[in-house]
Structure formats: structure tokens, C-alpha cells
Amino acid sequence: MEILARGAVELGLHLTDQQLDQFEVYYRELVDWNQRMNLTAITEYSEVQVKHFLDSLTVCLTLPQGLLPGAAVVEVGAGAGLPGLALKLVYPDSRLALVESVGKKTAFLRHLVETLGLANVEVYTGRAEELARQPGLRESFDLALARGLAKLPALLEYTLPFCRVGGRVVAWKHGGIDQEIAGAAEALNVLGGRLTAAHQVGVTGLTDNRVLLVVEKVKPTPPVYPRRPGVAAKRPL
């Protein structure tokens, strides 16, 4: 994991040997399970270190003070657990919820959590639109993560209902998104969000003009949101 270790330094992170060993286990399990299900198209050792692990840890660019112990994090559309589980390895005292609708993928996530010996991680199989209405999940999180999830208006409808007022959404995007941001103005207004930052990612090996959008939750999301499954994608705000 030397490439990951060097890249992490660019983010102000110094990964311990134990953390690097955990990322090594993560890689082995990802590649093994990927032979039986479609978790990722990226499996080459160096590419996983950069395009999955390091890309996930760029969220730390939005966390200049790091994560406080006990901070509640949710990843929506968790897939193979990136970025959520990568961030958990760096901040083991955080609490993490992984939301994923595909049962085979949540089976992988539960296996990985057990294999890595991680505490305070919950895996939920279901649609974000339904889970975000559950007591204990709705408006309960300090940070919501969304990587490769959807266009911004739909993404906000999937994520902002999970955030408490004062919490934040971080979304992974690529450059040239001015039009997408402009098109999300109504969603931000309706759902209680405010775009506060767009961090350009300038880490070695990560190209495509990567950008991290930060949205603060400034008021409660109205009870009618999120709408029923599928509506946000078909009829975005």
C-alpha cells in the first residue's frame, strides 16, 4: 500500500502500519468477492490504491479538523463501501451507516466489516428514499457521503434527509459541473441545503478535474421528502 501511503500524506494523513494492513485486507476481499459479483471494474493493485482508496480519502480535504470521536457518518449508495469504510479506517472512533439497495453488496459489506473487526458500523439493505424516513436514521447524521450516486438534484434528495441541521453532505463530482450546480438550486432550497464549498482535488494520480461539493443542512427537510423510490431520478426537483 505504498502508493496509498504516499498519496495520503498529500491529504495531510499519516496512515499507520495497522491502517495500511487493513487497506490491504480490504483490497484482497474486494478482488475476491468481485469474481462472484459486480463490485468494481477497477481491480489492479495500484489503481485500487489510487482510484478507490485515495479517492475516498480526499473527503479529508473537507474536514480540516478531522472527525470528532462519535461523529455519525452515512454513506448513501454504498456499493463496495467506498468512501465510507475507507474513512472509517482512518477515523475508527466514528459511527458509520452504510445504505445500499442491493442485497449481494450488503452481504459483502457485512463480511468486510466483520473481517476488519470494525465496531459501530451498521449496514442497511434498502432504498435511501425509504430508509431516510426511519426514526433513528432521519436527520441523525453529521456527515453524508455520496460517490458516483446521481446528478446533484436527485443526490440531494437521497442524502439531505439523513443529515441533522448543521450536518453536511459531501458529493464526489468531476469538473465542468457549473450547469449541474445551477440546476440544483431548487433542490437545495426545498430540501434545506446550502452549497458552501467546492474543493478542487489536486492529488497525484487523480485526474478528471475531480471536485468535492460540500452542502450544509441549514433547515429541516420537509416531511414529504424524499419522495417514493424512483421519483427523484425521474422527476428531479
Does residue 51 lie within any of the structural domains? no
The answer to whether position 10 is within a domain reads no
Cβ(142)–Cβ(167) below 8 Å: yes
Under DSSP, the state recorded for 25 is H
Q: Is residue 32 part of a domain?
A: no
> Is it the case that residue 116 has pLDDT exceeding 80?
yes
Domain count, the chain: 1
Q: Kindly state the average pLDDT of the residues 138-155.
A: 96
Q: For residue range 40-95, what is the model confidence (pLDDT) as tens digits?
A: 999 999 999 999 999 999 999 999 889 999 999 999 999 999 999 999 999 999 99
pLDDT per position as a tens digit, 147-156: 989 999 999 9
Q: What is the CATH number of the domain that holds 183?
A: 3.40.50.150
Q: What integer is the mean pLDDT of 157-174? A: 97
Residue 38 has pLDDT above 90, yes or no: yes
Kindly report, residue by residue over 96-107, the tens digit of the pLDDT.
Answer: 999 999 999 999
All cell numbers assigned to 24: 490491504
Residue 190 lies in a domain: yes
Confidence of residue 208 (pLDDT cuts 50, 70, 90): confident
- The answer on pLDDT for 202 being more than 90 is no
Q: What is the C-alpha to C-alpha distance for residues 95 and 73, in angstroms, rounded to an integer?
A: 6
Could you tell me if residue 49 is inside a domain?
Answer: no
Closest CA to 13 of 73, 57, 53: 57
Q: Report the distance separating Cα 94 and Cα 179, nearest Å.
A: 34
Beta bridge pairs of residue 97:
74, 122
HSE-up (13 A, CA, CB side) for residue 40:
23
Contact present, 157 and 191 (Cβ < 8 Å): yes
For 111, other C-beta atoms within 10 Å of its C-beta total 14
Residue ranges of E strands in 101-192: 121-125, 141-147, 163-174
**Rounded Cα–Cα distance for residues 138 and 159 (Å):** 10
Provide the domain limits for residue 186: 67-234
d(C-alpha 201, C-alpha 46), whole Å = 19
Give this prediction's pTM: 0.95
Cα 8 to Cα 6: distance, rounded to the nearest angstrom:
5
Give the mean model confidence (pLDDT) for residues 151-170.
97
Eight-class DSSP state of 219? S
Task: Flag whether 111 is in a domain.
Answer: yes
Is 78 among the domain residues? yes
